[in-house]
């Protein structure tokens, strides 16, 4: 694919870095469908993103602007962002395992790349809103959280946390290079709001899943499980499978990002948890059982050692986001799983093509 020219100086698009990725492409589609001008900045390095970009171009044609660039390239970012009406910053290295193998690259993408974006917006002088996709990993491994092991999952002994989840008052405790790089970026985004009066906000995400996600073993585990199941391939679980996450359908995530931008003056300078909450809290084992119902067969599942930085439990309390923006998760996890399974199955009836897309 040819490198696209810089964003048109005659328009003021909403720029989405990592906009050909899973959440970015869904957000771009929603904005474009409502008549917004959107520009995607993406280096197109991840599996499936070229397919996502082609899908956006087929749906929206020339209304979609594309800049093929890397957020580590400060000159390219400066060229792309001076006319941005707002910036959603999704471009990132997203896997804990990759960060452990190559912490320098992880830092360059997540930390330096974020500062490059912030600096480009600051130098442009238009005070464009910057909304950053952070992670629950900024709260660390939660090793001090006392848990009770039940038949199918680990849950907090504290009844209040079990009912509501982890809120934003939890102290930051960066763990693993990924947690550090995303945590640094998280704090830079908030500080640029204070130091340079930029309208910034941060969403600390739990596990987002849904259409246009080509998950791998290291990132996007819900889609990864479904892809393996649909291809009839074995699945490896690291640990006991009782670790709990609150999963959120991408349509609900997109709604949250749009709500933050729409009311940025109200929520600027703040970080919010974004996840499915206690109603969508599931263990890996629970998800596997539901996938077996969807595909109609028993899965081949093996076990391996725990991985570094894997939280036994994380469920986001999202009451602050709900109170400020009247947002709430609408899609239940079982319905969401079936939606993703239908989308994956519809991508290709031939498993060989599905294998090529997810590689």
| 327's tokens | 């947002």
Would you please indicate which residues are annotated as catalytic (active-site) residues? 178
Contacts of 89 (CB under 8 A, 6+ apart): 17, 18, 114, 117, 130, 131, 132, 133, 189
Q: Which parts of 239-300 are beta strand (E)?
A: 244-249, 270-274, 281-283
Residue-wise DSSP of 156-208? ESSHHHHHH-B-TTSPP---HHHHHHHHHHHHHHHHHHHHH---EEEEEE-EE
Beta bridge partners of 274: 205
| 284's tokens | 């890996």
Contacts of 233 (CB under 8 A, 6+ apart): 300
Cα 69 from Cα 163, distance rounded (Å): 43
């Amino acid at each position: 694919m040819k490198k696209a020219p810089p964003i048109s100086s005659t328009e003021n698009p909403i720029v989405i870095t990592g906009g050909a990725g899973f959440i970015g492409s869904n957000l771009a589609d929603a904005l474009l469908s409502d008549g917004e001008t959107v520009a995607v900045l993406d280096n197109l390095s991840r599996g499936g993103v070229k397919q996502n970009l082609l899908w956006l171009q087929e749906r929206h044609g020339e209304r979609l602007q594309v800049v093929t660039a890397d957020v580590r390239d400060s000159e390219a970012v400066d060229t792309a962002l001076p006319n941005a009406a707002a910036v959603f910053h999704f471009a990132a290295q997203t896997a804990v395992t990759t960060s452990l193998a190559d912490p320098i690259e992880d830092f360059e993408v997540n930390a330096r790349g974020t500062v490059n974006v912030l600096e480009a917006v600051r130098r442009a002088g238009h005070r464009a809103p910057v909304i950053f996709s952070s992670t629950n990993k900024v709260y660390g491994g939660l090793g001090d959280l006392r848990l009770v092991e039940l038949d199918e999952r680990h849950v907090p002994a504290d009844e209040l946390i079990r009912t509501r989840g982890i809120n934003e008052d939890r102290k930051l405790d960066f763990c693993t290079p990924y947690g550090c790089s995303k945590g640094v970026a998280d704090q830079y985004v908030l500080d640029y709001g204070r130091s340079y009066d930029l309208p910034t906000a941060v969403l600390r995400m739990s596990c987002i899943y849904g259409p246009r996600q080509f998950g791998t073993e290291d990132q996007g585990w819900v889609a990864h499980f479904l892809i393996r199941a649909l291809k009839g391939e074995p699945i490896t679980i690291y640990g006991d499978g009782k670790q709990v996450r609150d999963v959120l359908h991408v349509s609900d995530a997109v709604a949250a990002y749009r709500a933050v931008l729409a009311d940025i003056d109200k929520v600027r300078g703040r970080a919010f948890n974004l996840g499915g909450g206690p109603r969508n809290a599931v263990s890996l084992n629970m998800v596997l059982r539901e996938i077996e119902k969807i595909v109609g067969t028993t899965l081949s599942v093996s076990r391996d050692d725990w991985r570094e930085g894997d939280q036994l439990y994380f469920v986001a309390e999202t009451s602050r986001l709900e109170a400020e923006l009247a947002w709430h998760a609408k899609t239940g996890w079982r319905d969401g799983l079936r939606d993703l399974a239908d989308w994956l199955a519809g991508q290709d009836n031939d498993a060989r093509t599905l294998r090529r897309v997810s590689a």
